[in-house]
Homo-oligomer: A and B are copies of this chain.
Amino acid sequence: MTKQAAVAVKLPGPGRPRSEEAERVILDTTMQLLVSEGYAGFTLDKVAAQARVSKSTIYRRWPSKEHLVIAAFDRTPPLTPADKGNLVEDLVNVVLEFINIVRTTALSAALPVLVGERAKNPALAEAFDPWLERRRMPVKQIVERAIARGDLPAGLDLNTAEDMVMGPVILRLFFYGKGDLSRIAVRELVSRAVRGMEGSV
C-alpha cells in the first residue's frame, strides 16, 4: 500500500555498500558520451571503460541502457518557472530555457529513441513518464498562475495548454532540422498559443 519502500533511505545492512562515487562517475560519463558519440554510438561497454567501472556495477543499478540514459537526464536541473507576472514572457523564458537544455545536452538525439522504446517497454515507461511529467510542470505552473490571476479562463485544461505551448516547439526542435527557434519566433508561437487558450472551446 505504501510507496515508502521506494523512497526509504537504504539501510546499511550487511555487505559492502554501493559506491556513490561509482554512481556519480557512471552518470557523468553517460552524459558526456551521449553528447560526444550520439545515442547510436553510445555503448555500455564504452561507459564502463571510460568510467573505469565494470558493467555489472552499471547493471546492478539500472536494468537497461535506456534506464541509465533516463537516470542521466534526470539529473539535469529542473526548469525554473520564472514569475514576472507576464504570461507570455514567462512562457517564452521557460521555453527558451528548455530549448537551450535540449541543444547543449544530447537530449535531441536521445529523446526520440527513448520515446520510441517507451512505446513497447512498460518498464521504461515507468521511469520515463515521471521524468517527462516533471519537465512539463513549469509551463503548467505558469499557466496555473495566469488562471489564478484571471489572465486565462478558469476552465482551461492545464495539459491542453501545455501541449499547445510545447507542441510546436518540440516539432521544430526534434522533427525539423532547421526550424526557427529564435526568441522572436518562440514569442510568436507562444503568443498565438496563449491567444488560442483564451475564451471557451
Residue numbers of A with Cβ under 8 A of B are 38-40, 108-120, 125, 129, 132, 159-160, 163-164, 166-172, 174-177, 179, 187-189, 191-199, 201
Contacts and interface: CB of A to CB of B under 8 A. Distances in A.
B188 A199 contact: no
A172 B163 contact: yes
Nearest to A37: B120
Contacts of A115: 112, 174-175
A201 B188 contact: yes
A172 B98 CA distance: 18
Copies in the complex: 4
Contacts of A169: 167
Majority-rule SS of A interface residues: helix
Contacts of A114: 112
25 contacts: A38-B119, A38-B120, A39-B116, A108-B119, A109-B119, A111-B116, A112-B113, A112-B116, A113-B116, A118-B177, A132-B175, A160-B188, A160-B192, A163-B171, A163-B179, A164-B167, A164-B168, A164-B192, A167-B170, A168-B168, A170-B170, A191-B196, A192-B196, A195-B198, A195-B199
A167 to B, nearest CB: 3
A148 to B, nearest CB: 20
A188 B197 CA distance: 10
A192 B177 CA distance: 26
A116 B160 CA distance: 26
Contact of A175 (B170, B179, B197): B170
A163 B174 contact: no
A114 B170 CA distance: 15
A174 B40 CA distance: 20
A113 B197 CA distance: 32
A129 B163 CA distance: 24
